[in-house]
Structure 1
Amino acid sequence: MANIVKTESGIDLLQRLSVRPKLIGLQTEVFGENGPQPGDVIEISEKNTNLKTVLLTQWIIRCILPSIWKGIKIGGLEVGVVFLSTDHHFSLLNLVTVLERTLKRNLRQYHELLPASGISIVEEIVKDSLKRLSVYESFNKTELLFNFCSTKTYILSHPKSSVVMLDSLSAFYWEDRLSASTMQSLDKYCQSLLLCLIEKLKQTNITIIYTVQQFLRESHERESAEDQLLIYSLSLENESQTMIHIEDRRNAKKFSKKIEILKGDLLIK
């Protein structure tokens, strides 16, 4: 029997050997105690709210904060985040403001640090945390596809990066539809972009979180192929009260949680 020789590129080797930190504990009210897992694909949609970017901002902060800083428990996941902005609702200034507020609240128990040295510690932790965040702006589909390639290059050289967030996948739909020679449904458009991103990041075990405007999508439109890609489908809704509806396809569960807004923070109960 002839010997079969298997070869792999240097990039394949790096992808295979890289061990990335996990996102377990990102939001236990949504993902439970053991989620999300590496490689999960998570969709966030919204109806009658403007909270998807707020939720992503909170998750970014949870990710990039250190777990422990000079012996002080901070409670972050200490993982890198790549944020792809297409809606341009994300504000770095707002993220820093919320990050500082979160840190000051967490450090109140350390009376010996505040107020004399507390501010300097907050500034140190903020600077350290922001090193784990990379933001790519896209103003059309061509730039977005180029940034998919840039994201892959960045992730290969940053083994601590564990999540790619895209806000939103549907941003350029109408612009591209007007210029296209054939009409394409929103779901087919989003599915095509999502498959492209997944293909770029295959074998990296990166968790992908993306948003889509629910008001553009009819319930019957969703493509079965896209359905198979998703592990979690989250829907933010504001009717009589603000709710988040969660579909956990790994465990075949559907449930809903109330959302309260306290001083700009989203509390999921």
Structure 2
Amino acid sequence: MAFKYNAESGLQLIARLKSRPVILNLSPLLPNNLTNEIIEISGNTSTGKTLFLTECVAKCIIPQNYNGIDAGVIYIDLDGQFNISKLVDIINRIIKDANSELLNACLEKLTVINSCDSSTLYVTLQRLKIFLTEHSSVGLIILDSVSANYWQDSISGGEKYMDKYTEKMISTLKLCVQDFKIPIIFTKHGYFHSKLQVNSHEVQN
């Protein structure tokens, strides 16, 4: 008689047993139910990418009885564009006359990670597994933006093709959180794509 079994690591077991918030109706521009999707937001400078993400953060961390989702968020800020004051303004706009206790309760659900180079980011991503194991309230990860360290990495001998650079970075992030089934939203600049692939697309058309 043949026996079949599925092996899983202790980390996978913990992740499976811990329930996490379900990200529902985050934005009309996104799917209604986010589970383990990876969503790319692309646009030129000053087109509102970070503002859109900040609105998503507010929706997540606001309690359900105020029409929020009541979920934790990890915001990896590589561009240094995230503005906590703007987030507070959005929360106050959604929750009229929010007191300091309620506001602090919302902000406690947000973890902002600032990283100035790829080496720091890599270490940060490796530690995400431990953080997510200890914080089952986290329901969304945001990376803003994937292209922030490209030129520095490219000059140092890293990946030259922009599309491959994006793919490798997102694959690394996905690998670090794959046991937890958490959706990822990331941004990149509108120009950030390989010219070789653009030319190939133009020829096909």
TM-score, length of structure 1 as denominator length: 0.68
Q: Does residue 160 of the first structure (1) align with residue 137 of the second (2)? A: yes
Superposed CA offset, 1:106-138 (max 9, x none):
xxxxxxxxxxxx4xx521211111111111110
Equivalent residue for 1:36?
33
Residues 143/2 of structure 1: CA separation in 2 closer, same or farther (3 Å cut): same
Size of the alignment, in residue pairs?
Answer: 198
Q: Distance in 1 between matches of 2:30 and 2:59?
A: 14
Q: What is the CA-CA distance between 1:4 and the residue it aligns to?
A: 5.3
Equivalent residue for 2:186?
210
Q: Distance in 2 between matches of 1:199 and 1:221?
A: 25
Equivalent residue for 2:27?
27
Residues 219/177 of structure 1: CA separation in 2 closer, same or farther (3 Å cut): closer
Q: What is the CA-CA distance between 1:150 and the residue it aligns to?
A: 2.3
Q: Distance in 2 between matches of 1:183 and 1:154?
A: 29
Superposed CA offset, 1:82-120 (max 9, x none):
00010000012221232223322xxxxxxxxxxxxx4xx
Equivalent residue for 1:130?
107
Residues 14/64 of structure 1: CA separation in 2 closer, same or farther (3 Å cut): same
Amino acid at match of 1:82: I
Please list every run of 5 or more consecutive structure 2 residues that lacks an aligned counterpart in the other structure: 199-205
Q: What is the CA-CA distance between 1:217 and the residue it aligns to?
A: 2.1
Please list every run of 5 or more consecutive structure 1 residues that lacks an aligned counterpart in the other structure: 69-73, 105-117, 223-269
For residue 58 of structure 1, give the secondary structure of its aligned residue in structure 2: helix
Q: Would the aligned equivalents of 2:12 and 2:180 in 1 still touch at CA under 8 Å?
A: no
C-alpha RMSD of matched pairs (Å): 2.0
Amino acid at match of 1:204: F
Superposed CA offset, 1:202-255 (max 9, x none):
121100000011123257638xxxxxxxxxxxxxxxxxxxxxxxxxxxxxxxxx
Q: Distance in 2 between matches of 1:102 and 1:37?
A: 22
Q: Distance in 1 between matches of 2:50 and 2:14?
A: 32
Q: Does residue 78 of the first structure (1) align with residue 81 of the second (2)? A: no
Superposed CA offset, 1:124-180 (max 9, x none):
211111111111110000111111122222111111211100000110000111110
Q: Distance in 2 between matches of 1:85 and 1:145?
A: 13
Q: Distance in 2 between matches of 1:5 and 1:176?
A: 43
TM-score, length of structure 2 as denominator length: 0.88
Q: Does residue 63 of the first structure (1) align with residue 60 of the second (2)? A: yes
Larger RCO, structures 1/2 (Cα 8 Å, 6+ apart): 2
Q: Greater strand percent: which structure? A: 1
Equivalent residue for 2:10?
10
Q: Greater helix percent: which structure? A: 2
Amino acid at match of 1:16: R
Equivalent residue for 1:221?
197
Equivalent residue for 1:240?
none
Equivalent residue for 1:229?
none
Which segments of structure 1 move beyond 6 Å, counting only runs of 4 or more? none
